Amino acid sequence: MQIRPLINNDIESISLLHKRVFDSSYFSIHFNISRLNKYFESLLSANKYCYVAVEDKKILGYVIGGYQTQKAVDNFMKSNIWYIFSCMLINPKFILSAIVKIFSRIFAKKQQSKAKLRLFLIGVDQNANRKGIGGILLNKFEDELLDNDIHTYGLYVRFNNSHAMKFYEKKGFQQEFVRNDLICYIKSI
Ligand SMILES: CC(C)(COP(=O)(O)OP(=O)(O)OC[C@H]1O[C@@H](n2cnc3c(N)ncnc32)[C@H](O)[C@@H]1OP(=O)(O)O)[C@@H](O)C(=O)NCCC(=O)NCCS
């Protein structure tokens, strides 16, 4: 198993893997592959800490993080606004959650995580789960942060994603606060 930086040439494989790894409750799963490629291009161009786990030339897992994860998503959304609307019309369950997010951004007192750097996505091929690959990706991510003198990072996970919560808690994350359907976790390394 090799862990190496995620490069532009990996993006198509990551898009295909992303669609297999995450379930249909994740909005980005509904993007077509070419739009998902653009989504990952935006994330990759703005975020420094992105790695893949490779075995026999096959990408089995990925982790994406950095200081600009939300900015990269916002930029992608702005540049693809009509496509996003069309996806919502085809999958109307996302319209309500978008409205809730907009209202809570405007009206709710926004809790800020103490961590400035965010792990945005981690995913491992379902056929390779529980073999330690997620843990190896996380170790690489943390080693690179430490090399850059970064000692705290955070992430958001949905509270119905019990597998990921178990994974993060096993890896030493602490719950910081809850916002809408998300739990904010933080870890000191
Ligand atoms: C979360 C995820 C990345 C974990 O990857 P993984 O390679 O399976 O994890 P590891 O094998 O390193 O697991 C380490 C520990 O985490 C916990 N864990 C991982 N997956 C778990 C699951 N499905 N149920 C319960 N505990 C789990 C276990 O304690 C495990 O140790 P153990 O197998 O010795 O008991 C993977 O399940 C995944 O891709 N999930 C879908 C995408 C996702 O939800 N990502 C997180 C939100 S961004």
Average pLDDT over residues 160-165: 95
Ligand 1 near 134 CB (within 6 A): yes
Exposure letters 119-139 (e unless 16+ CB within 10 A, then b) = bbbbbbbeebeeeebbebbbe
Atom of ligand 1 nearest to the CA of 136: 12
| pLDDT of res. 97 | 79
User: Ligand 1: distance of its center to the CA of 53 in Å?
Assistant: 14
> Mean pLDDT across the stretch 22-42?
95
Rounded to whole angstroms, what are the CA distances from 5 to 50, 71, 99, 165?
Answer: 6, 21, 36, 25
Could you read off the pLDDT of 58-109 as tens digits, one per residue?
999 999 999 999 999 999 999 999 999 999 998 888 888 778 777 777 776 7
CATH number at residue 107: 3.40.630.30
C-beta of 145 in contact with ligand 1 (< 6 A):
no
Give how many domains the chain has, as a whole number: 1
C-alpha 102 to ligand 1 mean position (Å): 31
Residue 138 is predicted with a pLDDT of 98
Domain encompassing residue 155: 2-188
Mean pLDDT, rounded, of the chain: 94
